[in-house]
Amino acid sequence: MNILNTPDERGHFGAFGGRYIAETLMPAILELTEAYAKAQQNQEFQDDLQALFTNYVGRPTPLFFARGLTAKIGGAKIYLKREDLAHTGAHKINNTMGQALLAHHMSKTKVIAETGAGQHGVATATAAAYFGMECKVFMGVEDISRQEPNVKRMELLGAEVVPVSSGAGTLKDAMNEAMRYWVGAVEDTFYVIGSVAGPHPYPAMVRDFQRVIGDEAKRQIMEAEGRLPDTLVACVGGGSNAMGLFYSFVGDKDVEMVGVEAAGIGIESGKHSASLGAGEIGVLHGSKSYVLQTRDGQIQEAHSVSAGLDYPGVGPEHALLKEEGRARYVSIKDDEALNAFHTLSRAEGILPALESSHAVAWAMKEAARRPKDDVILVNLSGRGDKDLETVLKHMERKGA
Amino acid sequence: MSCIKDSFEALKAKNEKALVGFVTAGDPDFGKSVEIVKAMCEGGMDVLELGIPFSDPTADGPVIQRSSQRALSSGMSLPKVLEMVKIVRGFTQIPIVLFGYYNPIFAYGGKRFYEDALAVGADGVLIVDLPPEESAELTSLWDGDDFDFIRLVAPTTGQDRMKQIADEASGFIYLVSMTGVTGSQGLNSSKVADVIAPLKAVTDLPVCVGFGISTPDHVKAVAAVSDGVVVGSAFERLIEENLENRGLHSMVKEYTESLKAATKG
The answer to whether the Cβ–Cβ distance between B129 and A21 falls below 8 Å is yes
* Whether the predicted model's global pTM rises above the 0.95 cut: yes
Cβ contact A23:B153 at 8 Å: yes
Residue B2's pLDDT band (boundaries 50, 70, 90)? low
Size of interface A-B (CB pairs under 8 A): 118
Closest CB to A283: pick one of B72, B103, B158.
B103
Looking at residue B35, its pLDDT comes to 98
Q: How distant is the Cα of A216 from the closest Cα of chain B, in angstroms?
A: 36
- Paired residues of A277 in beta bridges: none
Cβ contact A192:A113 at 8 Å: yes
DSSP letter string over B69-110?
HHHHHTT--HHHHHHHHHHHHTT--S-EEEEE-HHHHHHH-H
The answer to whether the Cβ–Cβ distance between A20 and B134 falls below 8 Å is yes
Helices (H), chain B: 4-13, 30-42, 62-73, 78-89, 102-108, 110-120, 132-139, 159-168, 189-200, 216-223, 233-241, 248-261
- Chain B residue with CA closest to A300: the answer is B55
- Does A162 contact chain B (CB < 8 Å)? no
Which of B72, B134, B178 to probe by mutation at the A interface, max A CB count within 10 Å? B134
The answer to whether the Cβ–Cβ distance between B129 and A167 falls below 8 Å is no
Show Cβ contacts of residue B152 under 8 Å, excluding neighbours closer than 6 positions: A22, A23, B126, B128, B131, B165, B173, B174, B175, B176
Looking at residue B207, its pLDDT comes to 98
Helices (H), B148-203: 159-168, 189-200
- Please, which residues 170-209 of chain A have a Cβ atom closer than 8 Å to chain B? 172, 176, 179-180, 183-187
Mean pLDDT of chain B: 96
The answer to whether the Cβ–Cβ distance between B131 and A28 falls below 8 Å is no
Closest CB to B56: pick one of A18, A186, A299.
A299
- Does A283 contact chain B (CB < 8 Å)? yes
Q: How distant is the Cα of A91 from the closest Cα of chain B, in angstroms?
A: 28
- Does B188 contact chain A (CB < 8 Å)? no
Looking at residue B145, its pLDDT comes to 86
Closest CB to B107: pick one of A19, A25, A297.
A297
Show Cβ contacts of residue B84 under 8 Å, excluding neighbours closer than 6 positions: B25, B26, B30, B33, B34, B37, B50
Within 8 A of B134 by CB-CB distance, chain A residues are 18-20
The answer to whether the Cβ–Cβ distance between B133 and A10 falls below 8 Å is yes
Q: What is the mean pLDDT of residues B124-132?
A: 97
Within 8 A of A285 by CB-CB distance, chain B residues are 56, 58
pLDDT at B93 exceeding the cut of 70: yes
- 3-class secondary structure per residue, chain A: CCHHHCCCCCCEECCEECCCCCCCCHHHHHHHHHHHHHHHHCHHHHHHHHHHHHHHHCCCCCEEECHHHHHHHCCCEEEEEEHHHCHHHECHHHHHHHHHHHHHHCCCCEEEEEECCCHHHHHHHHHHHHHCCEEEEEEEHHHHHHCHHHHHHHHHCCCEEEEECCCCCCHHHHHHHHHHHHHHHCCCEEECCCCCCCCCCHHHHHHHHHCHHHHHHHHHHHHHHCCCCCEEEEECCCCHHHHHHHHHHCCCCCCEEEEEEEEECCHHHCCCCCHHHHCEEEEECCEEEEECECCCCCECCCCCCCHHHCCCCCCHHHHHHHHCCCEEEEEEEHHHHHHHHHHHHHHHCCCECHHHHHHHHHHHHHHHCCCCCCEEEEEECEECHHHHHHHHHHHHHHHC
Look up residue A87 and give its amino acid: H
- Does B160 contact chain A (CB < 8 Å)? no
The answer to whether the Cβ–Cβ distance between B129 and A295 falls below 8 Å is no
Cβ count near B240 (within 10 Å): 15
- Does B104 contact chain A (CB < 8 Å)? yes
Q: Is A381 a catalytic residue?
A: yes
Looking at residue A146, its pLDDT comes to 83
Cβ contact A239:A196 at 8 Å: yes
Looking at residue A2, its pLDDT comes to 84
- Does B154 contact chain A (CB < 8 Å)? yes
- Chain A residue with CA closest to B154: the answer is A24
The answer to whether the Cβ–Cβ distance between A184 and B181 falls below 8 Å is yes
ipTM above 0.85, yes or no: yes
Number of residues written out for chain B: 265
Widest Cα–Cα separation across chain B: 50
The topology under which CATH files domain B4-261 is: TIM Barrel (3.20.20)
Closest CA to A355 of A272, A266, A236: A236
Residue A305 backbone phi and psi in degrees, to 5: -65, -25
Looking at residue B47, its pLDDT comes to 98
- Does A342 contact chain B (CB < 8 Å)? no
Work out whether the CA dihedral A248, A249, A250, A252 comes out positive or negative. positive
Cβ contact B223:B175 at 8 Å: no
Positions in chain A short of pLDDT 70: 400
Residue B101's pLDDT band (boundaries 50, 70, 90)? very high
Residue A93 backbone phi and psi in degrees, to 5: -65, -30
Within 8 A of A180 by CB-CB distance, chain B residues are 58-61, 181
Domain ranges, ordered by start, for chain B: 4-261
Looking at residue B1, its pLDDT comes to 54
Q: What is the mean pLDDT of residues B77-85?
A: 98
Which domains are assigned to chain A?
13-54+91-202 (3.40.50.1100), 58-89+211-399 (3.40.50.1100)
Q: Express each pLDDT in A39-60 by its tens digit.
A: 999 999 999 999 999 999 999 9
- Does B211 contact chain A (CB < 8 Å)? no
Looking at residue A4, its pLDDT comes to 86
Closest CB to B179: pick one of A172, A183, A291.
A183
Looking at residue A187, its pLDDT comes to 86
